[in-house]
């Protein structure tokens, strides 16, 4: 999947919502120490910067060099390129070693991971006791009763072009394997969260163009956002320069290592 995110790196930063600050406060309150955090699949570093408000150092890692090139600089955040070929021991060493990390976050990415490998690393890296891991994502955008059905029709046209792992997102992480003791949400029932945002229609289109399914289809010569589709979405939105208050429908699981 890294190649797809390389292609959309330039629009990914602008198109995505900003996670609410209270999420980071909530997670920080659950950890006993605030020395080191690891943001996995950090991309442009959005979540890492939020975490850095509460922790002394944050290490953000990603398998996409192109995404990291768009990372927002922050004095407490160190971004590392971690190709799929990196060994577990190299990764452990580059982050801080066993029993060293107070918080591990994964925003909009854990569904792409090799989950058994990831949980093995989490078990070794998290500080015990007191370390927390949190994974979150969003799978829908609520605008209004006029726009939402039109959006659903477009979304349905993208389904054949998604990687199968996206089903975890469509399910709201209810079916995601979570090999940890849940402390936020419950097994099969993640915390339901909203991400409020002021969004223009052009910003909304940039988000759609960053979808992996839309990129995949375009690489195969199919433009899912052809003129008539864009026009239908724009009409339902209201007008192209109209800024609306929307809500991204998000969900989160948080847990700690079982002792």
90 falls within a domain: yes
Residue 157 lies in a domain: no
Range of the domain at 181: 10-140+163-196+247-256
Domain count along the chain: 1
Asked whether the predicted pLDDT for residue 240 surpasses 90, the reply is: no
Question: Is 51 within a domain?
Answer: yes
CATH of the domain at 175: 3.40.50.150
Q: Is residue 233 part of a domain?
A: no
- Is 153 part of a structural domain of the chain? no
* 2 has pLDDT over 70: no
Query: What is the C-alpha separation between 156 and 152, in angstroms, rounded?
Result: 6
- Summary mean pLDDT of the chain: 91
Q: Which residue, chain included where needed, has tokens 């469509």?
A: 170
Per residue in 107-141, pLDDT (tens digit) is: 999 999 999 999 999 999 999 999 999 999 999 99
pLDDT at 189: 86
The verdict on residue 24 lying in a domain is yes
Higher pLDDT, 245 or 9: 245
Residue 44, φ and ψ in degrees, nearest 5: -85, 5
For 21-76, what is each residue's pLDDT tens digit? 999 999 999 999 999 999 999 998 999 999 999 999 999 999 999 889 988 899 99
Q: Residue 232: inside a domain, yes or no?
A: no
Report if residue 60 sits inside a domain. yes
Q: What pLDDT was estimated at residue 15?
A: 54
């Amino acid at each position: 999947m890294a190649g797809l995110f390389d292609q959309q790196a330039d629009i990914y930063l602008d198109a995505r919502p900003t996670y609410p600050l209270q999420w980071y406060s909530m997670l920080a309150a659950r950890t006993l120490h605030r020395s080191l955090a690891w943001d996995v699949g950090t991309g442009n570093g959005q979540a890492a910067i939020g975490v850095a408000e509460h922790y002394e150092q944050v290490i953000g890692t990603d398998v996409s060099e192109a995404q990291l090139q768009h990372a927002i600089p922050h004095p407490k955040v160190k971004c590392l390129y971690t190709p799929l070929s990196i060994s577990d021991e190299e990764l452990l060493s580059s982050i801080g070693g066993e029993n060293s990390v107070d918080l591990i976050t994964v925003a909009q990415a854990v569904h792409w991971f090799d989950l058994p490998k990831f949980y093995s690393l989490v078990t070794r890296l998290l500080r015990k006791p007191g370390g927390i891991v949190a994974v979150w994502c969003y799978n829908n955008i609520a605008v209004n009763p006029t726009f939402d059905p039109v959006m659903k029709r477009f979304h349905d046209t993208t389904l054949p072009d998604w990687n199968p792992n996206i089903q975890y997102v469509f399910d709201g992480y209810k079916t995601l394997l979570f090999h940890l003791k849940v402390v936020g949400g419950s097994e099969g029932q993640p915390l339901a969260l909203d991400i409020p945002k002021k969004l223009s229609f052009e910003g909304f289109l940039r988000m759609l163009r960053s979808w992996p399914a839309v990129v995949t289809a375009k690489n195969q010569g199919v433009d899912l956002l052809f003129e008539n589709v864009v026009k239908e979405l724009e009409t339902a939105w209201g007008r192209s320069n109209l800024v609306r208050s929307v809500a991204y429908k998000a969900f989160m699981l948080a847990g700690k290592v079982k002792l």
